[in-house]
Structure 1
Amino acid sequence: MKKVLFLILTLFLILYGCSNKEEQPEGKPIKVEQAKGKPIKDIEYDGENHLEIAVLGNDKAIEELSKSISYDKYSIDELIKALEGNDAREYDAIIVFKDSFKSVDDDKYSDFFSALQYPVFLVGADNFRAYALYTKGSDINKARDDTAPYVQGFKSNNSNEKSQAWSFDIPEEVDSKIINKYALVNIFDILDSEKSKEEE
Structure 2
Amino acid sequence: MFPSKKSAKKEEKFLKPGAIPGLVQKHLVAERKMEPDLVPLLKAVVRKSTTEETAFNIRVFDESEALAKKVQVKDYTSLDERPDLIIYEGWFDERSKEVKLEEKKRVSSETTIFSEAEIRQKIEAMREPGSTVFFYMDRGGAHGGPLGMGAAVVELNPNYPGKKQKRYNVYIADVVEMQPVGKGQKLWDSDKPKEIARWIKEAHHKRIY
Instruction: Using structure 1 for the length normalisation, give the TM-score.
Output: 0.25
Higher Cα radius of gyration: 2
Instruction: Using structure 2 for the length normalisation, give the TM-score.
Output: 0.24
Q: Which has the higher contact order (CA 8 A, sep 6+)?
A: 1
